[in-house]
Structure 1
Amino acid sequence: MSDDLKYPGFKSSELISGLGAAFSKYSDAEKQAQIKKTNGIFELRVSNEAKEEAIWTIDMKKSGTVYKGAAKPKADVAIILSDDTLVELSEGKLNGQKAFMTGKLKTKGNMMLATKLDAVLKGAKAKL
C-alpha cells in the first residue's frame, strides 16, 4: 500500500492507497486493457466530517495510475462526494447511480464517464 496517497482523517485513504497498489500489480497488457476500456481521467474531490477536502486523480486515459492532487491534464470528470459515500461505493453498499440520484455524489464534466468508476474500483479490488 502506498502511504504517499493517504490524507490523514480520511477513511477512503485506505481505499485509494489500495487502488494504487492494485494498479501497480497490473501487467502492461492489463493496464492497456483497462485504459482502453475506461479512457478517462477521474478527479475525486472527497470531503470528510471535518469539512476538509482531499483530491485524488485516477488516470485511466494515459498512465493507468492514481495520484494525490488535482488532475494534470484536466480531468474528464470530477466526482464530488463525501468520505463515507466513497467508502460505501467501494464496498458495494451503494451504487453510483443511486448515490447520484440521492445527491450523495455530484459530477462536473463527462457524466457518462462517471458511470465507469464502479468498474475501475471493482477491477482493482479483484487485483488485491
Structure 2
Amino acid sequence: MALKSEKLFSEMAPILQTNGADLVKKIGAVYHFEILPAPGAEPVVFTIDLKNGSGSFAKGRVGTADATFTMTDDDLIAVAQGKLNPQVAFMQGKMKIKGNMAKASKFTPDILPKSPKL
C-alpha cells in the first residue's frame, strides 16, 4: 500500500530548490519522519535535512536526526492540510516526538507542500 505522505514528501524537492537555503538558515535541523501505514504497523522513514546545504529529502533514515516525528500516514496528511493542529496531535498522542524539542518546534506545517491531490 502506497503512503499518501510519500507523495507529500516527494513534493518537497521543488520547495527546497527555491527556498531550501532560506529554510536551512531559519531551521538548522535534520528530521526523521516515521510514518505508520496503520496504527501498530512497521514505520516507513523519511528524512528532511534542513541543516546542510540547500536542504534535502530522502526516503529512509539518513544521518542523525535532531528530532524524530512518529505518526500515522493519515494524521500527517491532516497536519499538512491544516485539518489537524500539530500541538493537538501531540497532546492527543497522535504524534510522538523524540529528540530536541526546540528543533522539533521549528518544523511547522507551512513547510510542507499544500497538495490537494493526496
Fold similarity call, TM over 0.5: yes
Matched, 1:96 2:86: yes
Matched, 1:15 2:8: yes
Matched residues, percent identical? 32
TM-score for the superposition, normalised by structure 2:
0.85
Two-structure CA RMSD over aligned residues (Å): 1.8
Provide the secondary structure at the position in 2 that maps to 1:46. Answer: strand
Moved over 4 A (4+): none
Q: 98, 105, 121: which is aligned to 2:95? A: 105
Provide the secondary structure at the position in 1 that maps to 2:35. Answer: strand
Provide the secondary structure at the position in 2 that maps to 1:113. Answer: helix
Aligned residue number for residue 46 of structure 1? 35
Letter in 1 for 2:4: K
Count of residues in Structure 1 that have an aligned counterpart in Structure 2: 112
Asked whether the 8 Å contact 2:5–2:77 carries over to 1, the reply is yes
Offset at residue 9 of structure 1 (A): 2.2
Offset at residue 124 of structure 1 (A): 5.0
Matched, 1:122 2:115: no
Correspondence 1:41-80 to 2 at 5 A: 41-49=30-38, 51-63=41-53, 64-72=55-63, 74-80=64-70
Offset at residue 52 of structure 1 (A): 3.4
Give me the whole-angstrom Cα distance separating, in 1, the residues matched to 2:42 and 2:112.
26
TM-score for the superposition, normalised by structure 1:
0.79
Provide the secondary structure at the position in 1 that maps to 2:46. Answer: strand
Provide the secondary structure at the position in 2 that maps to 1:52. Answer: coil
Higher helix share goes to which structure?
1
Give me the whole-angstrom Cα distance separating, in 1, the residues matched to 2:7 and 2:70.
18
Asked whether the 8 Å contact 1:81–1:106 carries over to 2, the reply is yes
Q: Once the two structures are superposed, what CA deviation does each residue of 1:16-57 show, in whole Å capped at 9, x if it has no partner?
A: 111123223x1xxx4222101001000000111282321000
